[in-house]
Amino acid sequence: AMATSCASWTGGAAVFAASRVHDNTRVRTASSSGRACAHPSARPRLTNARRNVVRTAAADPTAVPRAEGVQDGEWNALDERLVRESQGDAEVTFERSTSMKNIERLLSGDGTRKPGVDPSYNLLGMTLPELKTFAEEAGLPKFRGKQLRDHLYGVKPARAIDDLTTLPKAARRQLEAAGVSVGRSVVHHVAGSPDGTTKLLLRLHDDRVVETVGIPAHEAGHSRLTACVSSQVGCPMRCTFCATGKGGFARNLATHEIVDQVVSLEEHFGERVTHIVFMGMGEPLLNVPNVLRAHEALNKEVGIGSRHITISTVGVRGAIERLARAKLQSTLAISLHAPNQELRERLIPSAKAYPIQELLDDAQQYFIATGRRVTFEYTLLAGVNDSIQQAEELGRLLYKNKLASHVNIIPYNPVDDAPDFKRPGRASILNFKNTLEGMNVPASIRQSRGLEAAAACGQLRNAYQKNALQAEEA
């Protein structure tokens, strides 16, 4: 179970004592077949430690306001419609990134490209078989697919088509003319804390921003680097104590935008990411197709074991079943936060549409289908859900449903937009944990990381996202 937390920031400029902004628009890091590893699982420690690629901006990135009519309070028909639209957007995003019609443009020579529009075909996030197929469809020898893989996931990941130096110049010009892109985002800002936790603010092609967090740790003589990744720009789920939920939803992240978060963290830290948690901005199970495709690339090409990947969800009806069908060997973490339906609806309005018992029934089926235990996230809110009686109620609930596997207790980190919630005292936190363990329910207290940068778990909306940014001309 994770003993650390994802990180983010919410404060103003004074918070970023450790942040750096460089003047260069882009730093290219060409990879060659001689230096890239034969396979990511065997690649050495990265050599470009602490290298950042940052674009300077005069204003803040685009805001993500709530849709018109969305308000705090009871979950309603408008919320349901927005959730369905989010799921539909995920399918469209997935289809756009995988359609063979986009490759056919290469063969037809159609290089039409609209200014300011994301290239319709991004290489990052593709697996080796896909890259080989891509190379053949683009009129290149099949072996070029492996060279592409080495450039994308090797020691020095490519940022631009021109960095694919093992490809002939004519082939690179052909790809560029057809609107093919590597699929890298720009590091807009960096913030770090003394414990090493670092957050990258990535600026996407449409001037939206997402955050990814690197959490280094040393355990039993071994180093680990956990990447906390985002799956959406914003979130429509409206969890009352979540910073991201206080904003709106803009769109789902495409596969390359998810994978790029991990690649960017590896570049920054100069070492491999060992663990991934989908606990950043957004609800991963509203973006199932792109999360699953990113999972495949991160596992097969970046070389991160499935059992070192955790997918977190507050609960989306039908989505856990879909995840179970994928037969992943990854951990499903359910954000429960309450021991009963009434309180859960107050904290997580969407629970009205997906009752707690139905959610736990689906969790049971996930365990049966995958053999992987389900863990539960429980954010402790002072005077709301942190009493000994509520710990006992939670223990009974999990035992009744044969899900007494593990509870990850997360002491609440204050959020500016949710002033009504407070962090419990140390005694309350320990009493809650001890009560669960006294009922034979394994529990751990997640260590808060990145608080010095106002960047701890649950605060993945920041000052940069609260004000609009003028989109740059293409």
Active site residues: 211, 457
Tell me how far CA of residue 425 lies from CA of 222, 381, 409, in angstroms. 31, 10, 13
> In the chain, what is the greatest distance between 2 CA atoms, to the nearest angstrom?
70
Query: In terms of Cα–Cα distance, which of 337, 321, 255, 260 is closest to 292?
Result: 255
* Helices (H) then strands (E): counts for the chain: 12, 14
- Taking the C-alpha atoms of residue 317 and residue 175, their distance in angstroms, rounded to an integer, is 41
Tell me how far CA of residue 430 lies from CA of 220, 233, 336, 378, 464, in angstroms. 24, 35, 19, 14, 35
Three-state secondary structure along 93-106? HHHHHHCHHHHHHH
User: What is the DSSP pairing of strand 232-234 with strand 275-278?
Assistant: unpaired
The angle formed by the CA atoms of residues 90, 95 and 99, to the nearest 5 degrees, is 165
Interacting residues of 111 by C-beta distance below 8 A, sequence separation 6+: 105, 177, 178, 179
User: What is the DSSP pairing of strand 275-278 with strand 222-228?
Assistant: parallel
**At 410, phi and psi to the nearest 5?**
-120, 100
> How far from each other are the two terminal CA atoms of the chain, in whole angstroms?
44
